[in-house]
Structure 1
Amino acid sequence: MTKPLSELLRTAAERSLPVVRAIPDEALSAPTPCGEYDVRRLLAHLHQVVVNFQSLAAKREVDFSAEAEDVCLRPGWRDVLTAETAALVDAWGAPGAEEGTTGAMGLPAGVVGRMVLGDLVIHAWDLARATGQEYAPDPAVVDDVLEAFQQLAPTGRAMGAFGPEHPLPDAGAGASPWERLLALTGRDPAWTRPA
Structure 2
Amino acid sequence: MHTDLTDLRDLDARAVALSARIVDTITPDDLGRPTPCTGWTVADLMRHLIAQHHGFAAATRGGSDWELPTLDDDLATQYRKASDEVVAAFASVDDPDQPLVIPDFGARPTPAHFAITAHAVDYLVHAWDVAAALGQPFAPENDLVDALLPIVLSLPDDERRTEPGSPFAPSLPQTPGAPAVDQLLRALGRDPYWLPS
TM-score (norm 2): 0.83
Distance in 2 between residues matched to 1:130 and 1:57, nearest whole Å: 31
Structure 2 gaps of 5+ residues are 102-106
* Paired residue secondary structure (1:152): coil
Give, in angstroms, the shift of residue 61 of structure 1: 4.5
TM-score (norm 1): 0.83
% of aligned pairs identical?
A: 27
Q: 1:136 to 1:174 in 2, by over 3 A?
A: same
The answer to which of 115-124 and 131-140 deviates more is: 131-140
Q: Report if aligned partners of 2:58, 2:65 keep a CA contact under 8 Å in 1.
A: no
The superposition leaves residues 51-88 of structure 1 with CA deviations (integer Å, 9 ceiling, x where unpaired) of 11112333x25365x5x2232xx232210110110111
Name the counterpart of 2:64.
Answer: 62
Give, in angstroms, the shift of residue 184 of structure 1: 1.6
The answer to which of 32-41 and 6-15 deviates more is: 6-15
Q: Does 1:160 align with 2:166?
A: yes
Q: 1:56 to 1:154 in 2, by over 3 A?
A: farther
Aligned counterpart in structure 2 of residue 113 of structure 1, from 111, 116, 120: 116
Give aligned pairs, total.
186
* Paired residue secondary structure (2:130): helix
Aligned counterpart in structure 2 of residue 135 of structure 1, from 138, 145, 148: 138
The answer to which of 20-29 and 131-140 deviates more is: 131-140
Structure 1 gaps of 5+ residues are none
What RMSD in Å do the two structures reach over aligned CA positions? 2.2
Distance in 1 between residues matched to 2:189 and 2:95, nearest whole Å: 29
Distance in 2 between residues matched to 1:44 and 1:96, nearest whole Å: 29
Q: Report if aligned partners of 1:46, 1:119 keep a CA contact under 8 Å in 2.
A: no
Query: Which runs of at least 4 in structure 1 moved beyond 4 Å after TM superposition?
Result: none
Output the amino acid matched with 1:83.
K
Q: 1:56 to 1:42 in 2, by over 3 A?
A: same
Q: Report if aligned partners of 1:11, 1:138 keep a CA contact under 8 Å in 2.
A: no
